[in-house]
């Protein structure tokens, strides 16, 4: 279980993360989504005690990371796959970590096997690893202490499609056995396939969170009119968030609300339908386009309007 409560991080006058709150429950994979620079890494670093928050708090299994007696046994962390010592072999990296954590050395072979690093790869120095191999080693390191929680920042970076497919299976299996996974990505497809819940961040603020299926169902409305300018103006006057979509305007409201606004403004519509069919991509684009100016925190399960 991960609990993030009103985390804020400021660097001088720049706010990297503002008032971010969410929970990750056992048995679930939470996808932490947002474009580059949105604040994902900063939030994850605060969860893992590497960056002190300006305000707010985060706990893993009820305690701040820094107060966990042997953190690697509670939470496996992969924040930067390139952070491993380049002069050590993969096996040495894990053996040193196992000794630090008090984990049996046999576990090193188990996790090497689990992440698909064979004996030859394990004997090579990390400096000779591709980014994909470093991610696998980082994941092996995260799994080494047999934790119940995983925090992984962009773990699919550098993996080929087969590797991404493999990782999804591994994370799904981890969660299905009662584990808690928080997984960040700037790529929607990577997360859409594996996550149960989504937390979407833009400009340092949460713009939507909830069950993936609920969020997709609440992806807004696609609407078109011959007089697009009049429609857009009416929607703006009604205080709705509007963004351009290849098929028309994407509005963060249901079809009833959008239809009523158009009727009241005397705009004849040529199309009005739920946007859900377009998948997460539309939701993601709409939300991140709207952030941060219009983002206001709302309870879980709501798309913030
Ligand atoms: P993401 O992981 O979503 O790509 P980050 O959390 O890395 O985003 O960054 C969020 C914002 O905080 C960015 O604007 C970034 O430039 C800024 N930032 C991150 N770390 C620092 C730092 N150490 N000093 C100053 N600004 C930072």
- At residue 287, φ and ψ (nearest 5 deg) are -70, -45
Residue the block writes with tokens 């100016």: 293
pLDDT band at 252 (very low <50, low <70, confident <90, very high): confident
Is there a single domain that holds both residue 245 and residue 300? no
Q: How far is the CA of 14 from the centre of ligand 1 (A)?
A: 9
Ligand 1 atom nearest to 36, measured from its CA: 4
Is there a single domain that holds both residue 60 and residue 155? yes
Is there a single domain that holds both residue 48 and residue 95? no
pLDDT of res. 304 = 42
Is there a single domain that holds both residue 236 and residue 96? no
50: pLDDT strictly greater than 70: yes
The answer to whether 15 touches 8, Cβ cutoff 8 Å, is yes
In tens, the pLDDT along 210-249 reads 888 777 766 788 999 999 999 999 999 999 989 887 778 9
The residue whose C-alpha atom lies closest to atom 14 belonging to ligand 1 is 37
Q: Is residue 280 part of a domain?
A: no
Q: Where are the alpha helices (DSSP H) in 71-147?
A: 71-74, 90-101, 106-114, 119-123, 131-143
Residue-number span of the structural domain to which 207 is assigned = 1-74+147-211+291-305
The residue whose C-alpha atom lies closest to atom 10 belonging to ligand 1 is 39
pLDDT of res. 281 = 65
Q: Is 282 a pocket residue for ligand 1 (Cβ < 6 Å)?
A: no
Residue at which a domain ends, from 141, 162, 186: 141
Return the minimum-mean-pLDDT range out of 123-127, 144-148, 291-295. Answer: 291-295
Q: Is 38 a pocket residue for ligand 1 (Cβ < 6 Å)?
A: yes
The answer to whether 151 touches 74, Cβ cutoff 8 Å, is no
Separation CA 166–CA 171 (nearest Å): 9
The residue whose C-alpha atom lies closest to atom 17 belonging to ligand 1 is 16
Is there a single domain that holds both residue 122 and residue 250? no
Ligand 1 atom nearest to 153, measured from its CA: 2
Q: Which of 207, 174, 96 is nearest to 141 (CA)?
A: 96
- CA-to-CA separations, 250 to 11, 20, 241, in angstroms, rounded: 34, 26, 8
Is there a single domain that holds both residue 174 and residue 194? yes
Q: Is residue 281 part of a domain?
A: no
Residue the block writes with tokens 């929970």: 23
Q: Is residue 283 part of a domain?
A: no
Is there a single domain that holds both residue 118 and residue 13? no
Which one of 7, 8, 11 would you pick to mutate in the ligand 1 pocket, going by the greatest count of ligand atoms within 8 A of its CB? Answer: 11
Mean of per-residue pLDDT scores for the chain: 88
In tens, the pLDDT along 15-48 reads 999 999 999 999 999 999 988 889 999 999 999 9
Q: Is residue 115 part of a domain?
A: yes
Q: How far is the CA of 276 from the centre of ligand 1 (A)?
A: 31
Ligand 1 atom nearest to 35, measured from its CA: 3
Is there a single domain that holds both residue 69 and residue 159? yes
Is there a single domain that holds both residue 54 and residue 172? yes
**The domain that contains 63 carries what CATH number?**
3.40.50.300
Is there a single domain that holds both residue 125 and residue 245? no
Q: Which of 42, 102, 45, 111 is nearest to 72 (CA)?
A: 102
Over residues 179-193, the mean pLDDT reads: 89
Q: Is 28 a pocket residue for ligand 1 (Cβ < 6 Å)?
A: no
Is there a single domain that holds both residue 232 and residue 251? yes
Q: How far is the CA of 42 from the centre of ligand 1 (A)?
A: 6
Q: Is residue 286 part of a domain?
A: no
Q: Is residue 43 part of a domain?
A: yes
- At residue 179, φ and ψ (nearest 5 deg) are -75, 165
Q: Is residue 159 part of a domain?
A: yes
288: pLDDT strictly greater than 70: no
Taken as a whole, the chain contains a residue count of 305
pLDDT band at 76 (very low <50, low <70, confident <90, very high): very high
Q: Is 39 a pocket residue for ligand 1 (Cβ < 6 Å)?
A: yes
170: pLDDT strictly greater than 60: yes
**Mutual angle of helices 228-237 and 255-265, in 10-degree steps:** 110
Q: How far is the CA of 161 from the centre of ligand 1 (A)?
A: 28
Q: Is residue 66 part of a domain?
A: yes
Give me the sheet containing 14-24, strands edge to edge: 14-24, 2-11, 55-60
Q: How many domains does the chain have?
A: 3
Is there a single domain that holds both residue 152 and residue 205? yes
The residue whose C-alpha atom lies closest to atom 16 belonging to ligand 1 is 37
The residue whose C-alpha atom lies closest to atom 20 belonging to ligand 1 is 42
């Amino acid at each position: 279980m991960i609990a993030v409560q009103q985390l804020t991080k400021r660097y001088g006058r720049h706010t990297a993360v503002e008032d971010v709150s969410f929970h990750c429950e056992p048995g679930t994979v939470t996808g932490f989504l947002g474009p580059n620079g949105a604040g994902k890494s900063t939030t994850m670093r605060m969860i893992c005690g590497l960056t002190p928050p300006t305000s707010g708090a985060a706990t893993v299994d009820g305690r701040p990371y820094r107060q966990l007696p042997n953190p690697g046994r509670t939470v496996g962390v992969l924040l930067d796959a390139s952070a491993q010592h380049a002069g050590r072999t993969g096996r040495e990296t894990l053996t040193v970590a196992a000794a630090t954590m008090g984990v049996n050395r046999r576990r090193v072979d188990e996790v090497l096997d689990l992440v698909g690093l064979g004996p030859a790869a394990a004997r090579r120095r990390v400096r000779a690893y591709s980014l994909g191999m470093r991610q696998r080693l980082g994941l092996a390191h995260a799994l080494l202490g047999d934790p119940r929680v995983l925090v992984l920042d962009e773990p699919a970076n550098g993996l080929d499609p087969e590797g991404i497919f493999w990782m999804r299976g591994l994370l799904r299996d981890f969660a299905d056995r009662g584990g808690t996974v928080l997984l960040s990505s700037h790529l929607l497809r990577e997360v859409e396939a594996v996550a149960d819940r989504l937390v979407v961040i833009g400009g340092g603020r949460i713009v939507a969170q909830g069950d993936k299926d609920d969020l997709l169902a609440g992806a807004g409305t696609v609407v078109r009119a011959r007089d697009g300018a009049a429609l857009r103006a009416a929607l703006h006057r009604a205080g709705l968030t509007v963004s351009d979509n290849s098929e028309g305007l994407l509005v963060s409201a249901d079809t009833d609300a959008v239809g009523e606004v158009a009727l009241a403004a005397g705009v004849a519509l040529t199309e009005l339908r739920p946007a859900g069919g377009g998948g997460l991509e539309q939701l993601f684009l709409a939300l991140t386009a709207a952030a941060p100016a219009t983002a206001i925190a709302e309870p879980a399960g709501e798309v913030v309007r």
